[in-house]
A and B are shown apart, each in its own frame.
Chain A
């Protein structure tokens, strides 16, 4: 395919955003998202030539797939994963539908409740205060998992990545169970 660079007007900002390890979100970065919508294949092959795998998820986010996360992002990823997992668990307990996570208001009182309920788990990950919780959210906001508005955080579509991951894990666990059940049956 012959690439027409002049048509890719958002190349710079797109690359800057994505190569920083951040996620592009349809609603937050509407313009960039539109650009991707219109020239997805162009960008894919261009970035591929540069050694980046561009993933555009129709659920409204895009990112560069990386093999090795830096230790910092690795740590952040782990902590964020924990936080989001607990958040999902907490919200599920409240009877909320997980796929509507974009509508959740992550306000101080919600964070308080989370902290109260799971502080042992948080502390095990060296998240020692609600402040630290907020710091994680702020960092995550910088890489496009959340937006904050008036001290309230909202999850962005990119959080689907975590949700997918949890789903996969759950699935794996389920099939383990099935296998075990089968074993039991056989025995």
Chain B
């Protein structure tokens, strides 16, 4: 043992924790020995007041801090004192009770711990109010320190110390900022209850904090920051891409608009001038047209009049001509009629002849009309003819007829009687062989006549059934003489001739009457003919004058006809002219109205037309002549153009607003909408370059984000390296029977890989590969990259930032000889109690050691309660390891642990524990003794 070693020397309790007095060596390993429930643990725990200081971190197991205060500081003369050898010399750090409140306060001074300093002559302990004075008396100017100040003092935090304070640094940390962690680990190490991987992880993170770029990476905000531009550009790009068709239509509209503006600019002054001139033009043209129309009307009227005259003349001439022609044709007819007539006398002779015939006829007709009727004449003829025949027969049969025979044969009465009965013709019948009558038996005849006579009485003939009076009957035949007969016959013949003539004339009477009429007619005709003939003669005379007159009339008519047709043409021409003038008038009127309307409808008096020249436009190259008659059309076209321009203005504005709504706002910063459009069109035209630019930006954004992640990853790597070193540290000696005892980080694979994805993408992008990459895969569409990003954002958001500690967890890896190493998160379950205890202690000590400034090693103490659970080999190992880490080990157990240098039993008198120097048993190895 070397005296020169800085570190704890001894712990002293006065009137505290049931000890009247306790002196415990701390310059080397100690084994406190006492039965259960004596005060071993209480003694060790007393160190907490001095080393941990902060009540919140103190831990008295089942005992609350409040109770512990009562236990440790029953009154104002209870002390816990620690003597430490520091480079600045010996020093004492103390804690004294303040009395009723069981409160306590800290003090410290340079110098060695002399228990007499705390005891008055009467053997009583110095009370807290007098302590400082007492110590001062003893030549040890002590100072009261508030807890925080003492802490600063012990942990060498010079900034929190006053200049005149002594250097009381017990825990020279590499980073004073780690004091709190150190304290916490110290508490744990002193207490050694559950120590799980999560806690170890937190401590180690604290310990290695300074090696790590311990940033809390707000990945989302980093990403958003780096990609703000890119995302914006991309959103613009996407929006424009989406709307390409619309934008191209807008570009067309803009072209049209500029052309329209040029056109309107060109025409505006011309229209203005023309409108000024219009009234005059309109008036003068109207007047002109009126005059022209009047002239035309007059001409038309004259023409009409002339036409009327012509019609009249023509009608008259036609009438005259017709008369002449009628006469002429009559004349011709007469010529034909009388072509065989040599003169009027011929006709007169004919007529007189006919008149004579007629008169003759009339006379015979008159005769005939006085005669009997035709029937009577015929009966007369027949009677006379019969008489004549009878007479002739009588004449012929004058010699031999029945009458004569009967006359000869019969009595007169009978004869007479028979002559009355028999018809004359019968009586006159000749009697000969060949005739109708035969007189073949004269006797029979006479008898018959006698019979007949008998039947006859008083001139009455009675026949059976018939009575005939004969008195009324004449004798039928009286026989005349031949001469008489001949005269009578010639009379008859004469009478017959006359009668026949009469018959003839009666029979031909109607015929004659017809003849008469015919004759009358002929006579009338002839009379007429005579008259006609006379006319013919007169016409023949007048023919000489008539034909030239006809000729003249015909000629006149032809002329009139010709003039009429000429007039019709003229009339047509005039009509056309009139129509044209009227149309012109109408047209002018309509133009005037249109112009007036258009004048009203002009839009170009307000903006934007008033400032058109200042707006982008295409100079118009139209021919700029504006003839008045075209003004109406022109101004209407002009108005339409204005209207169209206005419409395009509105439409473009709407479309632009629509684009804004759809997110295209990149160009809104331009001064004017027009410039905005231009910028937009240019942008759209170069969309593929834009895409490339965005991709480039995206890449540099990835690089930017990756840089931050690289820090995280590097930290992880550093941590892993530190952990390897740390494992080496705790493995310098074998721990119990463990072949392997390691604390290893296990990466959270998905997160680390996500980070790696981003970093390697960034590297690819930065390296020459970027162009290959560019062709295949854009950063913005990189699925894997996006997935990685999402993972990191999600994790970062859930944890309020990404830190290196999120990238791994710690596992204890433990294996005995012949075992495959197993991973544990909770070391308690990993091995036997003793082994676990040891493992925990070593881990804790190693962590504390890690924090200490190795250049200023000050040995402190740690303890292992219930040390009996470790075997001696392990105890020895543990003592050595603790030594290496700068700790002396305090064992507490009912039995002495001979591996320690000191064995300190606890004595008890009158219910009070006490330990004095005299009880200390120093164990030395034989090797040491030999020395």
A100 and B749 in contact (CB under 8 A), knowing A58-B197, A58-B811?
Answer: yes
B748 within 8 A of A: yes
- Nearest CB on A from B335, distance (A): 129
CB contacts under 8 Å to A, within B801-823, are 809, 811
Residues of B within 8 A of A31 (CB): 798
Q: Which of B746, B749, B787, B794 contacts A30 (CB under 8 A)? A: B794
Q: List the A residue with the shortest CB-CB distance to B800.
A: A34
- Nearest CB on A from B743, distance (A): 13
- Nearest CB on B from A177, distance (A): 15
Q: Sort chain B's interface into a size bin.
A: 10 to 19
B825 within 8 A of A: yes
Q: Is the CB of B791 within 8 A of A27?
A: yes
Q: List the B residue with the shortest CB-CB distance to A25.
A: B750
Residues of B within 8 A of A58 (CB): 197, 746, 809, 811, 825
A79 within 8 A of B: no
CA of A30 to CA of B746, assembled, Å: 18
Q: Is the CB of B798 within 8 A of A30?
A: yes
Q: Is the CB of B798 within 8 A of A34?
A: yes
A19 within 8 A of B: no
CA of A102 to CA of B746, assembled, Å: 15
Residues of A within 8 A of B811 (CB): 58
B795 within 8 A of A: yes
Q: List the B residue with the shortest CB-CB distance to A99.
A: B749
- Nearest CB on B from A166, distance (A): 15
A103 within 8 A of B: yes
A23 within 8 A of B: no
- Nearest CB on A from B849, distance (A): 26
Q: Is the CB of B749 within 8 A of A102?
A: yes
B586 within 8 A of A: no
CA of A27 to CA of B751, assembled, Å: 9
B799 within 8 A of A: yes
B480 within 8 A of A: no
Residues of B within 8 A of A26 (CB): 748
- Nearest CB on B from A119, distance (A): 31
A60 and B748 in contact (CB under 8 A), knowing A27-B791, A103-B753?
Answer: yes
CB contacts under 8 Å to A, within B465-487, are none
Residues of A within 8 A of B798 (CB): 30-31, 34
Q: List the B residue with the shortest CB-CB distance to A34.
A: B798
Residues of B within 8 A of A102 (CB): 749-750
Residues of A within 8 A of B791 (CB): 27
Q: List the A residue with the shortest CB-CB distance to B826.
A: A58
- Nearest CB on A from B606, distance (A): 58
CB contacts under 8 Å to B, within A99-139, are 100, 102-103
- Nearest CB on B from A133, distance (A): 24
Q: Is the CB of A27 within 8 A of B750?
A: yes
CA of A30 to CA of B791, assembled, Å: 10
Q: Is the CB of B753 within 8 A of A27?
A: no
Residues of A within 8 A of B197 (CB): 58
Query: Can you list, as one digit per residue, whether each of A9-44 has a CB less than 8 Å from chain B (1) or not (0)?
Result: 000000000000000001100110010000000000
CA of A57 to CA of B791, assembled, Å: 20
CB contacts under 8 Å to A, within B717-761, are 746, 748-751, 753
CA of A100 to CA of B197, assembled, Å: 23
Residues of A within 8 A of B795 (CB): 27, 30
CA of A58 to CA of B794, assembled, Å: 19
CA of A53 to CA of B616, assembled, Å: 79
CB contacts under 8 Å to B, within A138-158, are 149
- Nearest CB on A from B201, distance (A): 10
CA of A100 to CA of B791, assembled, Å: 17
CA of A48 to CA of B197, assembled, Å: 22
- Nearest CB on A from B895, distance (A): 34
Q: List the B residue with the shortest CB-CB distance to A156.
A: B750
Question: Which residue, of B197, B748, B750, has the highest number of chain A Cβ atoms within 10 A?
Answer: B750
Q: Which of B748, B749, B750, B799 contacts A34 (CB under 8 A)? A: B799
- Nearest CB on A from B248, distance (A): 34
CA of A100 to CA of B751, assembled, Å: 13
Q: List the A residue with the shortest CB-CB distance to B797.
A: A30
Residues of A within 8 A of B787 (CB): 149
CA of A36 to CA of B341, assembled, Å: 164
- Nearest CB on A from B695, distance (A): 23
Q: List the A residue with the shortest CB-CB distance to B791.
A: A27
- Nearest CB on A from B140, distance (A): 47
Question: Which residue, of B798, B809, B811, has the highest number of chain A Cβ atoms within 10 A?
Answer: B798
Residues of B within 8 A of A100 (CB): 749
Residues of B within 8 A of A60 (CB): 748
- Nearest CB on A from B800, distance (A): 10
Q: List the B residue with the shortest CB-CB distance to A171.
A: B820
CA of A59 to CA of B811, assembled, Å: 10
Residues of A within 8 A of B799 (CB): 30, 34
Q: List the B residue with the shortest CB-CB distance to A40.
A: B198
Residues of A within 8 A of B749 (CB): 100, 102-103
- Nearest CB on B from A150, distance (A): 9
Query: Can you list, as one digit per residue, whether each of A46-63 has a CB less than 8 Å from chain B (1) or not (0)?
Result: 000000000000111000
Q: List the A residue with the shortest CB-CB distance to B750.
A: A27
- Nearest CB on B from A164, distance (A): 11
CA of A27 to CA of B750, assembled, Å: 8
CB contacts under 8 Å to B, within A73-110, are 100, 102-103
CA of A34 to CA of B798, assembled, Å: 8
- Nearest CB on B from A67, distance (A): 21
Q: List the B residue with the shortest CB-CB distance to A57.
A: B825
Q: List the A residue with the shortest CB-CB distance to B749.
A: A102
CA of A58 to CA of B751, assembled, Å: 15
CA of A26 to CA of B747, assembled, Å: 13
CA of A34 to CA of B787, assembled, Å: 21
- Nearest CB on B from A120, distance (A): 33
- Nearest CB on A from B53, distance (A): 27
Residues of B within 8 A of A103 (CB): 749, 753
CA of A84 to CA of B748, assembled, Å: 22
- Nearest CB on B from A126, distance (A): 34
CA of A100 to CA of B746, assembled, Å: 13
Question: Which residue, of A26, A100, A149, has the highest number of chain B Cβ atoms within 10 A?
Answer: A26
Q: List the B residue with the shortest CB-CB distance to A35.
A: B798
- Nearest CB on B from A2, distance (A): 15
Residues of A within 8 A of B750 (CB): 27, 102
CA of A129 to CA of B787, assembled, Å: 31
- Nearest CB on B from A69, distance (A): 25
CA of A176 to CA of B751, assembled, Å: 39
Residues of B within 8 A of A149 (CB): 787
CA of A60 to CA of B794, assembled, Å: 15
Residues of B within 8 A of A30 (CB): 794-795, 798-799
CA of A82 to CA of B749, assembled, Å: 25
- Nearest CB on B from A44, distance (A): 12
Residues of B within 8 A of A34 (CB): 798-799
CA of A31 to CA of B800, assembled, Å: 11
Q: List the A residue with the shortest CB-CB distance to B823.
A: A58
Q: List the B residue with the shortest CB-CB distance to A59.
A: B746
Query: Can you list, as one digit per residue, whether each of B768-801 has a CB less than 8 Å from chain A (1) or not (0)?
Result: 0000000000000000000100010011001100
- Nearest CB on A from B841, distance (A): 23
CA of A68 to CA of B791, assembled, Å: 35
- Nearest CB on A from B400, distance (A): 170
CA of A59 to CA of B825, assembled, Å: 10
Residues of A within 8 A of B794 (CB): 27, 30
CA of A59 to CA of B824, assembled, Å: 11
Q: List the A residue with the shortest CB-CB distance to B787.
A: A149
23 interchain pairs (CB within 8 A)? A27-B750, A27-B751, A27-B791, A27-B794, A27-B795, A30-B795, A30-B798, A30-B799, A34-B798, A34-B799, A58-B197, A58-B746, A58-B809, A58-B811, A58-B825, A59-B746, A60-B748, A100-B749, A102-B749, A102-B750, A103-B749, A103-B753, A149-B787
User: What would 8 more interface pairs be, CB under 8 Å, given A26-B748, A102-B749?
Assistant: A27-B791, A30-B798, A34-B798, A34-B799, A58-B197, A59-B746, A100-B749, A103-B753
Across the A-B interface, give the 9 residue pairs with the lowest CB-CB distance, nearest first.
A30-B798, A58-B825, A58-B809, A27-B750, A31-B798, A34-B798, A30-B794, A102-B749, A102-B750
